[in-house]
Structure 1
Amino acid sequence: MIKITQHLWFEKDMEAAIGFYTSLIPGSSVDWISALPADSPSGPAGSVRIAAFTLGDQRYMAIEAGPLDPFNHSFSIIAECETQAEIDRLWDALKEGGSTEQCGWLKDRWGLSWQITPKRLAELMGDPDPAKAKRVAEAMLGMVKFDIAGLEAAANC
């Protein structure tokens, strides 16, 4: 079977970023961190670092090798949360030094995009009653950080 791993390129502070991410998501770990040897064509000894880590049930690789392309919205990590407390905890931690956006999106201090979403949102949006799903969608579009109670209230109007 082919294994799929996401790969992130950090300009700097890779170790701090992955340490922070793995501290926030239960079941996560930093698997290893290494510097490329002196004979690497990628730069002087120690200038390029690579790492493997796990966030929840997803595998990642990371490289710290100076500027290339900054992170953008074309790649984001979705954290699907069961409770409002989980949403609040992740949101507050990840937005520190970053910026928030509409519909549960934020960029962390390294510029990586995250979507902090309630599991309940998919259930409400998939409701067989199109009017109910529409009300939930409209409520979602008016939110920055998701509020499960607000989504439920829109569904039950």
Structure 2
Amino acid sequence: MNTKELKSALLQDCEAIVNNRLEKIQQTIAGIVESLDDESKSSAGDKHETGRAMLQIDRENAGKQLLEIEQLQALIRRIDVSQTTDYVRLGSLVYTSLGAFFISISAGLITKGKSSYICVALKAPLGMLFLGKKKGDVVEFNDRKYTITSVA
């Protein structure tokens, strides 16, 4: 698998992770809406009002999570894996002395074949340290030194 194919495959995995999160939060919201409908049919006084208030809070929290997921989807659409530069930017594949990183979203470890890649958000502390760095640069994070061996 060449670099472009690898980056495309990693991006697709990141997209699948975000889409999975989206499905889960949509199911959660649907459940909350259904529960709110059931609560409105009930008339148990104070207990009824407390239940509705709790469901409204859950709905607001789910709405915030939905917004975050939509922002991740927008970020994924901006990632151009076809470009290769000699410096780290969004969509870069960074090989270091301590592992390989795909600068995209915080999606954790993804394995392709016999190799593993850590998907790191550009806004994450390590992602910000990598930003703009080139082959040979050293980044120190959590008392560990990452020597960049290549950027693709």
Which TM-score band (shorter chain)? Answer: under 0.3
Structure with higher strand content: 1
Answer with 1 or 2: which has the greater Rg.
2
TM-score by length of 1: 0.23
Larger RCO, structures 1/2 (Cα 8 Å, 6+ apart): 2
Structure with higher helix content: 2
TM-score by length of 2: 0.24
